[in-house]
Structures are given as C-alpha cells and as structure tokens.
Amino acid sequence: MTLNLAGNPFGDLEDFKPDAPAVKPGPSSFAVQAVAEEGGFHLNNYPVRTIAAVRRKTLGPPIVNKTFRIYIADANRFQKWLNESGYTQKEGFAILTSNLPPVVPSK
C-alpha cells in the first residue's frame, strides 16, 4: 500500500538546517615548539631508544614451558598440595617425577 501525498505536509524544512561549524585552526607544532623553547622547555628532548630484552640466568637445569591438559579436580588437588607444602609448581612437579623410572632411549 502506497500513501500518495501531493506535497510535503510539513512544509519547507530548509530553515531548520544547522549552520556549518566554525573551525578554529590551532597553532602548528612548529609554533608550539617555538613558544616552548622560548620558555625554556624542550619538546622531544628524550631520544627514543630500543630497550633490549635481558634474559635472566636460569638456576639449575634448562626448563621447558609446556601446557598440559588435566582435569580441574586434579589441578586443584595438586595446587592445594603445593600451597600446603610451600612448593612452587616447578618444585612440586620435580618431586612428583623424582620417583619415575629413568627413560631408556629405544634403538
């Protein structure tokens, strides 16, 4: 269904158009820098240098970051044991694996 009107029932809405916003240009970065230097301030006075990553020396044998998929109940039980014993996860895992038989490489 189409509604056909002879013209706009609200009349001419040209009077309700907003005026264009007045844009005030700000000072250029060179002007800001000149004013700052006159006042004794220096912009960008710290050279940008790349910070090299410093690796800390590991204590003990090399370690490997590994993700294990375990049940939440088992993880909670392990963490509770670690908390009660005062061990880190690394120390606790070493204690648990200390009783495993040595691995013999297959030929």
Indicate if the pLDDT at residue 2 is higher than 60.
no
Whose CA is closest to 43, among 54, 29, 64, 53?
29
Q: pTM here?
A: 0.40
- Spans of all domains in the chain: 59-99
Indicate if the pLDDT at residue 74 is higher than 80.
yes
Backbone angles phi, psi at 36, to 5 degrees: -65, -45
Averaged pLDDT of the chain:
79
How would DSSP label each residue in 27-38? Answer: PPHHHHHHHHHH
Asked if residue 43 lies in contact with residue 33, where contact means CB atoms within 8 angstroms, the answer is yes
Helix ranges restricted to H, the chain: 29-38, 72-85, 89-97
